């Protein structure tokens, strides 16, 4: 018996692998005990189930996405610090090759798919229905399913660290390295299934928000009156529904190779690994625009609000968003200029990739000229937006440099590339998501975050960023490749790497300041009683903070762009607030536990497939099917909020 | 004179962009910035021009940002103009749609020109030499079809001679990169790709796999040793005289995942490179392979038309 136990501990719990695993195990056990204990002690189980796990309210789902994104930001960040610690000096033995490989794989996968994606879904959910005057998204039940598929996909992926082993072939997961012959462990299966499950949720989110934006707008909210964040969401979701299926297909085919023994991407029997690489980037490059367009949307809202000025060149902004949406499909091969395609192919993709720089540059100038002759208030959202511009200028320049194919032959897979995409994804996306979080935080929670701590966080994080990544451009010119777990002393890469590691730690400290800021603000709340703490422009700021669960007691009629600002200027804000006699009973979707259970069933099925435990997989899939059947048989999924209740709520908020 | 000044200016621009922050400066370790051959030189040109052209947009942007944020900050008593409703200007928008389009057009045309040029031998005057490169787990095998010798983890080349590297892999995909001589190309199982490089001057150049291949990836470095033609010939005869042969059995052993040092072989099994590619029904990338220098014999298996042989046939047919 003890030998069997030891076998289990070594094979699945990996207790022979050293202290990182033990610490993680201990932390997980303590966290679980802490959460379960607190919920039991405070008698909050019922509250958790009724208010959160079963909710279909877009605002609560948005908040859950936000919490998940921040937790994953922490996990991905710890991964990054482990990597940078290992690289701080030549010949370091802090991590061995296998652990380093696993950690850079989980870092990349988590940051893109389980941090950036939920972060922007958080903002979609919280903001879009409020901006367009809707009471929820088009398909609230599906929205809950999307969240729980993301959540359980992320859980499955994260579980790999302490149960069975993490994937170790990079977040791009190129075959044949990821085929069974080279990578037999369960780690790669975890990657394939975790990403697959959350990817299904992402596609559903894309469909949901396109439907919401096209069909659920308040009367008078014409397309060209929509706030730019909503426009950017539309662009992003259009890319999602065209790009994510390519990812699903490529992951599914690779999964078949590994589980059933097909030869789509193997080296044998005519398998073609290049096909995976193409499919992966047919999703992978548009994915970059999926995450960056919403950030552009945030900047547009923030800049207009904090300069007290109309956004400059609105139609140009819409045009450039849509242009980027389209061009994003024609650039994927720039991820492998070095794969031996002809000069004609490379030239086409080089020029298309450079062309993306044109609408993007236009956006930057439009933001600048929105500030021009405005009155700039440097609040936290504005600070992150201003920090974004130099980042994006440098990242955009290096992007155009990378797009020039002959240059790319030298940059490809070097630290120059690493520095470039971190500059875009951190300086572009993370800055945008944080700006959005600070901007809409009062709308979500009804209080503002402490500015002083936030400014500390901003400066430490941003200075850390430059210290971390500028040296990496230079390391690229010195010939250092990505994904090397260590490097010899005589290459002379030591000093720049050391500087870079210091920068990474500063970014970590910056993140801790954000955590401190949130905790501090919870205890020293600056309540927002106005609903419009920033003196903002768009419709969501006409609502109280936090927003009642039905959003709008009476759906307003929209007469122009920046409707709330215009109403404030004319003194006609009462047209946008409800009057008692207009209030009618409101139909709202019912809560349901099934999305949660369905996510869990997917988790069970995925877990079964990871270890080829097919009985478990079948049980999980049966659970999924059962949830779908029960949903199909459901007649009553709505309830009515009576007029009196709406009136009571509104007058308690002082709006009647 | 002015050309030289211009060249200096360009490198100053480039270096300033990346190395302001660090004291290490621009030593000879910056392989990419100190090309040792015509291919890397062409690529550096593209790098420099793309940097300069993007700076035309970047510098005004950053200056504007600083000026605007300072001038229009929200301070009581700020006398700068405030026009909350001003939000359209066809003229201005024309400028910043127009200038980037112009820049991209210039850079795009230049990029295309160089991309096409790089598929050709770096010079027409010297007869090229062909070297077969196979990436293995986790080592590099080089075969000289002309000289009939083979090496592991180092490759000798004559200076001033275009080198036609034909690349494949008998392991997960890798990428063959010698930054001092020029950019990289993937090595992929079941197919061959081509990379032209050339060294102007003698020296030992750093090379490394650039695409991740698992546990031993960090050890996949190799040296490229460029010497004069006569020294190269001398080296060949020395290897032929003093080294063991690479047999099919040794190759099978070499293929196993491991890291090794530098090895030389006096001969290798004929068609080893082709057989590696065709072992599982490979495919040759004809598009990328202008056929002027392939010296490979047709593969042993008559049923498959040979990779390089096929190119030759097509040429003959024309």
- Is the Cβ pair A357, B81 closer than 8 Å? no
Of B62, B68, B217, the CB nearest to A371: B68
- Is the Cβ pair A404, B46 closer than 8 Å? yes
Residue B154's CB is within 10 A of a number of other CB atoms, namely 18
List the alpha helices (DSSP H) in A139-186. Answer: 140-159
For residue B283, the model assigns a pLDDT of: 56
CB pairs under 8 A between A and B: 299
Of B51, B61, B80, the CB nearest to A401: B51
Q: Which among A135, A324, A114, A274 is positioned nearest to A201, based on CA atoms?
A: A114
Quote the percentage of chain B above a pLDDT of 90.
68
Tell me the average pLDDT across A480-501: 94
For residue B312, the model assigns a pLDDT of: 36
> What's the angle, vertex CA A79, arms to CA A75 and CA A85, rounded to 5?
140
A570 interface with B at CB cutoff 8 Å? no
- Is the Cβ pair A470, B21 closer than 8 Å? yes
Q: How far is A217 from chain B (nearest CA, A)?
A: 25
Residue A372's closest chain B neighbor by CA?
B68
Tens digit of each residue's pLDDT (9 = 90 or more) over B128-158: 999 999 999 999 999 999 999 999 999 999 9
pLDDT at B4 over 80: no
- Is the Cβ pair B78, A496 closer than 8 Å? no
Stretch (H or E) spanning A84: helix A58-87
Token representation of residue A544: 């109280």
Q: Which pLDDT band, with edges at 50, 70 and 90, does A13 fall under?
A: confident
Sequence-ordered strand ranges (E) for A542-650 = 586-589, 638-641
pLDDT at A96 over 70: yes
Q: How far apart are CA A272 and CA A489, in angstroms?
A: 38
pLDDT at B317 over 90: no
Question: Are A505 and B205 spatial neighbours (Cβ–Cβ below 8 Å)?
Answer: no
Q: How far apart are CA B44 and CA B46, in angstroms?
A: 5
- Is the Cβ pair B58, A397 closer than 8 Å? yes
Tens digit of each residue's pLDDT (9 = 90 or more) over A507-554: 999 999 999 999 999 999 888 888 999 999 999 999 999 999 999 999
Strands B154-158 and B163-169: unpaired
B12 interface with A at CB cutoff 8 Å? no
Residue A274's closest chain B neighbor by CA?
B188
Q: How far is B60 from chain A (nearest CA, A)?
A: 10
- Is the Cβ pair A401, B288 closer than 8 Å? no
pLDDT at B1 over 70: no
Q: Kindly list the residues from chain A whose CB atom is less than 8 angstroms away from the CB atom of residue B82.
A: 373-375
Q: A165-174, A610-619, B294-303: which has the minimum mean pLDDT?
A: B294-303
Q: Which residues in chain A (384-403) have CB-CB distances under 8 A to chain B?
A: 386, 389-390, 393-394, 396-397, 400-401, 403
Tell me the average pLDDT across A77-82: 96
Sequence-ordered strand ranges (E) for A428-550 = 447-448, 526-527
For residue B28, the model assigns a pLDDT of: 55
User: Which DSSP letter does residue A538 get?
Assistant: S
Q: How far apart are CA A313 and CA A69, in angstroms?
A: 32
Q: List the domains of chain A with CATH numbers.
A: 44-592+637-652 (1.20.210.10)
Q: How far is A644 from chain B (nearest CA, A)?
A: 41
For residue B31, the model assigns a pLDDT of: 93
Tell me the average pLDDT across A110-119: 97
- Please classify residue B282 by burial: count the beta carbons closer than 10 Å to its beta carbon, then call 0-12 exposed, 13-18 middle and 19+ buried: buried
For residue B11, the model assigns a pLDDT of: 55
Q: How far apart are CA A513 and CA A537, in angstroms?
A: 30
- Please classify residue A500 by burial: count the beta carbons closer than 10 Å to its beta carbon, then call 0-12 exposed, 13-18 middle and 19+ buried: buried
Q: Kindly list the residues from chain A whose CB atom is less than 8 angstroms away from the CB atom of residue B85.
A: 309-310
Tens digit of each residue's pLDDT (9 = 90 or more) over A151-195: 999 999 999 998 999 999 999 999 999 998 898 889 999 999 999
- Is the Cβ pair A404, B111 closer than 8 Å? yes
Cis peptide before A176 (omega within 30 of 0): yes
Quote the percentage of chain B above a pLDDT of 70.
79
Residue A371's closest chain B neighbor by CA?
B68
- Is the Cβ pair A273, B189 closer than 8 Å? yes
User: Which DSSP letter does residue B296 get?
Assistant: P
Q: Which residues in chain B (219-278) have CB-CB distances under 8 A to chain A?
A: none
Q: Kindly list the residues from chain B whose CB atom is less than 8 angstroms away from the CB atom of residue A97.
A: 215-218
B186 interface with A at CB cutoff 8 Å? yes
- Is the Cβ pair A386, B69 closer than 8 Å? yes
- Is the Cβ pair B217, A484 closer than 8 Å? yes
- Is the Cβ pair A358, B193 closer than 8 Å? no
Q: How far is A244 from chain B (nearest CA, A)?
A: 25
Among the four given CATH numbers 3.30.920.30, 3.80.10.10, 1.10.630.10, 2.60.40.420, the one describing domain B129-285 = 2.60.40.420
Q: How far is A340 from chain B (nearest CA, A)?
A: 6
For residue B279, the model assigns a pLDDT of: 78
- Is the Cβ pair B55, A397 closer than 8 Å? yes
Phi-psi region of A57 (alpha: psi -120 to 50; beta: other; left: phi over 0): beta
Residue A362's CB is within 10 A of a number of other CB atoms, namely 21
CA atoms within 13 A on the CB side of A597: 15
Residue A99's CB is within 10 A of a number of other CB atoms, namely 19
Q: Which among A472, A460, A459 is positioned nearest to A501, based on CA atoms?
A: A472
Tell me the average pLDDT across A46-71: 96
Going from N- to C-terminal start, the domains of chain B cover: 35-74+88-119, 129-285
pLDDT at A121 over 80: yes
Q: Which pLDDT band, with edges at 50, 70 and 90, does B9 fall under?
A: low
Q: How far apart are CA A655 and CA A138, in angstroms?
A: 27
Phi-psi region of A413 (alpha: psi -120 to 50; beta: other; left: phi over 0): left
Taken in order B34, B38, B41, B43, the sign of the CA dihedral is negative
pLDDT at A642 over 60: yes
For residue A1, the model assigns a pLDDT of: 64
Q: Which pLDDT band, with edges at 50, 70 and 90, does B282 fall under?
A: low
Q: Which among A567, A503, A559 is positioned nearest to A532, based on CA atoms?
A: A567
B92 interface with A at CB cutoff 8 Å? yes
For residue B191, the model assigns a pLDDT of: 86
B203: β partners: B226
Tens digit of each residue's pLDDT (9 = 90 or more) over B48-83: 999 999 999 999 999 999 999 999 999 888 888 999
Residue B287's closest chain A neighbor by CA?
A342
Token representation of residue A428: 């572009």
Tens digit of each residue's pLDDT (9 = 90 or more) over B89-105: 999 999 989 999 999 99
Residue A303's closest chain B neighbor by CA?
B69
Of A309, A473, A495, the CB nearest to B24: A495
């Amino acid at each position: 018996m003890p030998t069997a136990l030891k076998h289990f501990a070594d094979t699945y719990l990996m207790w022979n692998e050293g202290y990182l695993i033990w610490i993680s195990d201990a932390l997980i056990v303590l966290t679980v005990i802490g959460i379960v204990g607190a919920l039991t002690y405070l008698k909050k189980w019922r509250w958790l189930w009724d208010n959160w796990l079963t909710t279909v309210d877009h605002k609560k789902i948005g908040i859950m996405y936000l919490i998940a994104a921040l937790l994953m930001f922490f996990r991905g960040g710890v991964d990054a610090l482990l990597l940078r610690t290992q690289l701080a000096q030549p010949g370091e033995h802090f991590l061995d090759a296998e652990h380093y490989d696993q950690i850079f794989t989980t870092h990349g996968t988590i940051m893109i798919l389980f941090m950036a994606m939920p972060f922007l879904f958080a903002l979609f959910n919280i903001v879009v229905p409020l901006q367009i005057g809707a009471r929820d998204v088009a398909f609230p039940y599906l929205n809950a399913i999307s969240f729980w598929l993301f959540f359980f996909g992320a859980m499955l992926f994260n579980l790999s660290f302490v149960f069975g082993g993490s994937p170790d072939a990079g977040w791009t997961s190129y075959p044949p390295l990821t085929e069974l012959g080279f990578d037999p462990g369960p780690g790669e299966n975890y990657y394939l299934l975790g990403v697959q499950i959350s990817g299904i949720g992402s596609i559903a989110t894309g469909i949901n928000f396109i439907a919401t934006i096209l069909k659920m707008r308040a009367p008078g909210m014409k397309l060209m009156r929509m706030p730019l964040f909503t426009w950017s969401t539309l662009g992003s979701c259009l890319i999602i529904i065209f790009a994510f299926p390519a990812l699903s297909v490529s992951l599914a085919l690779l999964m078949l190779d590994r589980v059933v023994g097909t030869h789509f991407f193997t080296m044998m029997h005519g398998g073609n690994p290049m096909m995976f690489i193409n499919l992966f980037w047919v999703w992978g490059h548009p994915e970059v625009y999926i995450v960056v367009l919403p950030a552009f949307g945030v900047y547009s809202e923030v800049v207009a609000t904090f300069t007290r000025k109309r956004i400059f060149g609105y139609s140009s902004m819409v045009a450039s968003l849509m242009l980027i949406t389209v061009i994003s499909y024609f650039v994927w091969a720039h991820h492998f200029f070095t794969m031996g395609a002809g000069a004609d192919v490379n030239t086409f993709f080089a020029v298309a990739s450079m062309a993306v720089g044109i609408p993007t540059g236009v956006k930057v100038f439009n933001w600048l000229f929105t500030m021009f002759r405005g009155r700039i208030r440097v609040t936290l959202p504005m600070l992150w937006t201003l920090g974004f511009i130099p980042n994006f200028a440098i990242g955009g320049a290096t992007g155009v440099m990378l797009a020039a194919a002959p240059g790319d032959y030298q940059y490809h897979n070097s630290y120059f590339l690493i520095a470039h995409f971190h500059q875009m994804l951190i300086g572009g996306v993370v800055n945008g998501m944080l700006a959005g979080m600070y901007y809409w935080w009062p709308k979500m929670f009804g209080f503002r975050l402490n500015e002083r701590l936030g400014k500390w966080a901003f400066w430490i994080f941003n200075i850390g960023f430059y210290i971390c990544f500028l040296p990496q451009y230079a390391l690229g010119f010195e010939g250092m490749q990505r994904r090397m777990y260590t490097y010899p002393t005589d290459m002379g890469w030591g000093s720049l790497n050391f500087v870079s590691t210091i920068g990474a730690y500063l970014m970590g400290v910056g993140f801790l300041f954000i955590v401190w800021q949130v905790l501090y603000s919870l205890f020293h709340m600056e309540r927002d009683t106005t609903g419009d703490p920033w003196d903002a422009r768009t419709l969501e700021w006409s609502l109280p903070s936090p927003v009642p669960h039905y959003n709008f007691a009476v759906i307003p009629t929209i007469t122009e762009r920046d409707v709330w600002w215009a109403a404030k200027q004319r003194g006609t804000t009462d047209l946008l607030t409800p009057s008692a006699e207009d209030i009618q009973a409101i139909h709202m979707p019912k809560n349901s536990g099934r999305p949660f259970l369905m996510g869990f069933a997917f988790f069970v099925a995925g877990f079964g497939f990871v270890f080829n435990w097919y009985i478990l997989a079948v049980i999980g899939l049966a659970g999924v099917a059962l949830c779908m059947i029960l949903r199909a048989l459901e007649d009553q999924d709505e309830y009515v909020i009576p007029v009196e209740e709406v009136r009571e709520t509104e007058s308690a908020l002082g709006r009647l | 004179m002015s050309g030289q000044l211009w060249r200096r200016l360009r490198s100053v621009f480039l270096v300033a962009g990346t190395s302001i922050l660090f004291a290490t400066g621009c030593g000879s370790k910056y392989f990419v910035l100190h090309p040792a051959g015509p291919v890397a030189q062409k690529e550096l040109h593209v790098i420099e021009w793309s940097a300069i052209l993007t700076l035309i947009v970047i510098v005004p942007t950053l200056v504007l940002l600083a000026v605007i944020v300072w001038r229009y900050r929200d301070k009581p008593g700020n006398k700068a103009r405030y026009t909350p409703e001003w939000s359209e200007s066809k003229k201005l928008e024309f400028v910043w749609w127009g200038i980037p389009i112009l820049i991209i057009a210039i850079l795009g045309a230049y990029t295309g020109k160089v991309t096409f040029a790089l598929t050709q031998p770096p010079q027409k005057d010297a007869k090229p030499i062909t070297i077969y490169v196979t990436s293995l787990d986790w080592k590099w095998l080089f075969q000289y079809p002309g000289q009939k010798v083979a090496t592991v983890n180092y490759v000798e080349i004559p200076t001033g001679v275009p080198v036609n590297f034909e690349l494949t892999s008998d392991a997960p995909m890798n990428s063959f990169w010698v930054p001092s001589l020029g950019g990289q190309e993937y090595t992929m199982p079941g197919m061959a790709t081509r990379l032209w490089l050339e060294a102007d001057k003698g020296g030992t150049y750093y090379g490394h796999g650039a695409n991740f291949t698992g546990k031993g990836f960090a050890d996949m470095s190799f040296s490229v040793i460029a010497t004069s033609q006569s020294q190269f010939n001398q080296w060949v005869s020395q290897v032929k005289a003093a080294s063991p042969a690479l047999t099919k059995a040794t190759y099978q052993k070499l293929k196993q995942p491991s890291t090794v040092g530098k090895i030389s072989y006096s001969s290798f099994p004929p068609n080893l490179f082709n057989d590696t590619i065709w072992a599982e029904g490979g495919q040759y990338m004809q598009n990328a392979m202008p056929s002027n220098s392939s010296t490979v014999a047709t593969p042993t298996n008559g049923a498959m038309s040979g990779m390089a042989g096929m190119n030759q046939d097509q040429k003959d047919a024309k």
